[in-house]
Chains A and B, each alone.
Chain A
Amino acid sequence: MNPTLSIALVASFIGVSCALLGVFLVLRKMTMVGDAISHAVLPGIAIAYWLSQSRASLVMFVGAAIVGVGATVIIELLRKKLRVQSDASIGMTFTSLFALGVVLITFWSDSVDLDQECVLYGEIAYVPFNLWIINGTSYGPIALWSSSVLFLVVLVYLIIGYKGLKMTSFNEDYAMVLGISAGLWNLSLMSMVSLATVVSFESVGAILVVALLVAPAASAYLLVQKLKPLLILSAVYGLLGALGGYGLSKLIETSIAGSITTVLGILFLFSLVIQITIKTKKTVHALES
């Protein structure tokens, strides 16, 4: 497959998946949990990689996703049972898990071929070279498979869980009265975020996943309120960020992940300007009439 096309596809799949999930993180005021998960999966990746001795194996995805969900459980325990400030419980958890991950990777550096820089910054440019080969037959880039599966899983999750997620995000008390368990939806959402992070980390790095999760949703939230338009606009922003960023990186030959984030940042500023202009116009209008 054409390398340019496969990178663009991977970036788009990841960008749109994260953008869709990010909407619910923004609505639930849980975006920093996304940040925490993206750091906390590191020890999971290290352990799973050490056990399975291969990158991008199913074991690794599952192991890392479990640690990611585990991190959210620890954060909740710290906050609810041990009465730690919610910001600090996030910070304590992800920094210690991240440090544990770095120590494990260094400890196994002889047997684990995991490049720290790659985990942290990601290198989507290598996507076309990591091929999925069974018995000598190539089935295309691994990342293309994992990111497209992620995209499908996220879509199915949103279609199945639309109502539950909507209820628990906008009005938790009302959802509880209807017998919809906020805790359960929360856990499922965290599992999805965790999965998205693990699939994305190799391409865009642990920290830039946060940008993919937050920036499109935050930009969309400035312009629309209702959930459906919010999801659509956020996905469009995610797609624009992915393709625009890739284009920018081709143009000035910079890191793809960094360029995607920069474009997402610009899109946010753009939305911010629109929102402020609309607001000022409304105020002026109100004052005149």
Chain B
Amino acid sequence: MDPVFLKVLVGTTLLAASSSVVGAFSYLKGQSLIGDAIAHALLPGVVLAFILGGIRNSSLLIFGALISGLLAHYGIGYIENKTKLKNDTAVSLVLSTFFGFGIMLMSYIQRTGIGQQAGLERFLLGKAAAITMQDIYIFTVLALLLIIGVGLFYKGFQLMTFNEDFAQAIGLPMPLIRCAFTVLTVLAITIGIQTVGVVLMAALLITPSATARVWTNSLPSMLVLTASFAGVAAVLGTYISSALSKMPTGPWVVLVMAFFGFSSLLFAPKRGWFSKQKQANANQRKTIRENVLKLLFQQEEHRGLPIVLSVDEIQRKRVIRLDRLTSALKELKKRLLIIDYGGCYGLTELGRSEGRRVVRLHRLWELYLTERLGMAADHIHPQAETMEHVITPEIEELLVKELGNPEVDPHKSPIPYEED
């Protein structure tokens, strides 16, 4: 394999996997964009360090960037706490003014011609192709630092993210923890930015965490997933950009990450949009089926003998969209809950018991709302319409016990129990 390519591959992957982890905490705090702001705000520090250092002096550049980043972080906090400006204004204000000041300094260098500004032009988009062996060592040290840092402060970061007041109350040194987190964030951005640029750095801190969040509810596995998504995206992005000639690496890594992110948000099981949609649909279909059974049962109860209803008659009694009703009837037939008498439908014994159950739950809940929660009898129907589809057998048992085996509901309709 081409050694240049290998360097880029290893460097980008190492950087992506390690620095994205810091972003996971910011994501959970709802402050993803602070990373973006810090990334932009590094510019003046880098340029000033460049002016002072004369030639491209990496450690001085990193130091300058670090100072600038910490200053920006402090500035955002100050504006947010001391003025009536909100977080978003503080973030975008610091981001743009620091960056603009940096550009002014940069143009000053260009004019006066202090050294050549090889290290600065790639600030925005980065230049992954220029990764050197020395950079790889730096990235390895950074990765180790981040792992050790997160390991050391894990408990503190976790509490800082989820419950800062509690952390303060149990006596954790929150200023120290916040400071450690800020330093780690700024450090990760500072080191990454020269290789991948401002925009990829922002994407690296945000997109993998948002992706991982879709797949898990636990913090440790979210951290691992974040690093994995970022790492895999870095590998794929590097491959794609090298396969297409002249293509920059950074933007491709961002695009692969975005692909992972958007497809996870849409297609992930459980929390993805499609499966949520599917769940909602299944619930809706179940509700319609139960409503049909309830309707048939109520009609039987009303007339005192088994009856059959046509589709038209059902729709006259209850507004259900025709296509939904047709598919509900089909499903009920399949489950042997109703019988089709040539276009008219009647309950089977099984269906009758199911319809009775729904009516019973409805009336029990109405009774509970009036008796125990003191609601007026004319306000309770809508709530019961929802709850009848949700109450489990265990809760039903508790309700019956709580209400002392009631005979009638608030509207004096009998509560139909199963005859044994």
Contacts and interface: CB of A to CB of B under 8 A. Distances in A.
Interface of A: 26, 29-32, 34-35, 39, 78, 81-82, 84-92, 95-96, 98-100, 102-103, 106-107, 109, 116-117, 120-121, 205, 207-208, 210-211, 213-215, 218, 221-222, 249, 252-255, 257-262, 264-265, 268, 272, 275-276
B201 to A, nearest CB: 9
Nearest to B121: A117
Contacts of B107: 254-255, 258
A246 B47 CA distance: 21
Contacts of A35: 36, 92, 95-96
B108 to A, nearest CB: 5
Contacts of A260: 100
Interface residues of B, number: 62
Contact of A261 (B84, B92, B101, B210): B101
Interface stretch (B7-15, B244-252, B406-414): B244-252
A211 B207 contact: no
A208 to B, nearest CB: 5
Interface string B333-345: 0000000000000
Q: Which 5 pairs across A and B sit closest by C-beta, in order of nearness?
A: A261-B100, A258-B104, A96-B258, A258-B103, A255-B107
B255 A218 contact: no
Given A87-B32, A207-B40, A262 B207 contact: no
Contact of A268 (B31, B84, B93, B266): B93
A207 B101 CA distance: 12
B254 interface: yes
B258 A215 contact: no
Contacts of B104: 249, 254-255, 258-259, 261-262
B89 A214 contact: yes
B33 A87 contact: yes
Contact of A103 (B83, B207, B255): B255
A244 B419 CA distance: 89
B265 A84 contact: yes
B206 interface: yes
B139 interface: no
28 contacts: A29-B86, A31-B92, A31-B93, A84-B210, A85-B30, A87-B206, A90-B32, A91-B202, A91-B205, A95-B207, A96-B255, A96-B258, A96-B261, A98-B251, A99-B258, A100-B255, A106-B247, A121-B103, A207-B95, A207-B100, A210-B96, A214-B89, A215-B93, A258-B103, A261-B96, A261-B97, A261-B101, A261-B104
A255 B103 contact: yes
B252 A103 contact: yes
A86 B210 contact: no
Contacts of A95: 199-200, 202-203, 206-207, 254, 258
Given A103-B247, A214-B89, A215-B96, A91 B36 contact: yes
Contacts of A26: 85-86, 89
B248 A211 contact: no
A208 B96 contact: yes
Given A32-B88, A88-B206, A221-B85, A214 B93 contact: yes
Contacts of A214: 89, 92-93, 96
Interface in B191-237: 199-200, 202-203, 205-207, 209-210
B125 A116 contact: yes
A50 to B, nearest CB: 16
A34 B251 CA distance: 21
A181 to B, nearest CB: 23
Contact of B254 (A82, A96, A213): A96
A205 B106 CA distance: 15
A102 B273 CA distance: 29
Contacts of A89: 210
A32 B96 contact: no
